């Protein structure tokens, strides 16, 4: 996408209001609540190995994206455009999107719950994740590539770690 497109989106009344930033925070809190439900459910069921994976893998993704952000140190759209950010934020370390990467790996983590419960929560979290990614782009916090890289990284890790465990019922 062209840089001017980001400027246009950031100047739209809808995307430049503090209320829109609160929506972003609310969506992130809903994803965190879903993750909390996964952890509580796995603990309640005494699925200790699944609980360990539910704790370790998202933490690893969070740390990996943080490391990548420091290594890549890509600027954010608002910084390149000279626009004020919607929310006070540093201008560097925009790639990959940690919000998106975290939300995607939490979608995968929901699949650790058995049956329709895991799939239902996965679907709800997936919708919230897509909204979070879109908001990060429209508010000028991330370029589309930042969001896609964060989502792709978590999808790859989720597929490599969780799919074999779930498909072959290794726990």
For residue 43, is the peptide bond before it cis, meaning its omega torsion is within 30 degrees of 0? Answer: no
Average predicted confidence (pLDDT) for the chain:
89
Percent of the chain with pLDDT over 70: 91
Q: Which domains occur in the chain, in start order?
A: 19-167 (1.20.144.10)
CB crowding 61-97: b at 16 or more within 10 Å, else e: beebbeebbeeeebebbbbbbebebbeebeeebbbbb
pLDDT digits (tens, 9 = 90+) for 72-95: 989 888 888 877 777 767 777 889
**Model pTM score:** 0.88
Residue 2 reports pLDDT greater than 80: no
How far is the CA of 142 from the CAs of 73, 98, 106, 113, in angstroms? 12, 10, 20, 32
Per-residue pLDDT band at 20 (split at 50, 70, 90): confident
Cα distance between residue 137 and residue 140, in whole Å: 5
Residue 98 reports pLDDT greater than 70: yes
């Amino acid at each position: 996408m062209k840089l001017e497109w980001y400027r246009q989106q950031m100047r739209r009344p809808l995307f430049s209001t503090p209320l829109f930033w609160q929506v972003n925070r609310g969506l992130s809190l809903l994803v965190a609540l879903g993750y909390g439900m996964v952890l509580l459910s796995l603990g309640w069921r005494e699925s200790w190995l699944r609980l360990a994976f539910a704790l370790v893998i998202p933490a690893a993704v969070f740390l990996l994206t943080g490391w990548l952000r420091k290594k890549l140190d890509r600027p954010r759209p608002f910084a390149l455009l000279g626009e004020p950010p919607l929310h006070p934020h540093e201008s560097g370390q925009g790639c990959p999107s940690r919000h998106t990467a975290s939300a995607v790996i939490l979608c995968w983590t929901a699949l650790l719950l058995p049956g329709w419960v895991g799939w239902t929560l996965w679907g709800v979290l997936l919708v919230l994740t897509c909204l979070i990614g879109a908001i990060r782009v429209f508010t000028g916090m991330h370029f589309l590539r930042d969001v896609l890289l964060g989502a792709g990284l978590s999808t790859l890790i989720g597929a490599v770690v969780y799919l074999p465990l779930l498909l072959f019922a290794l726990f």
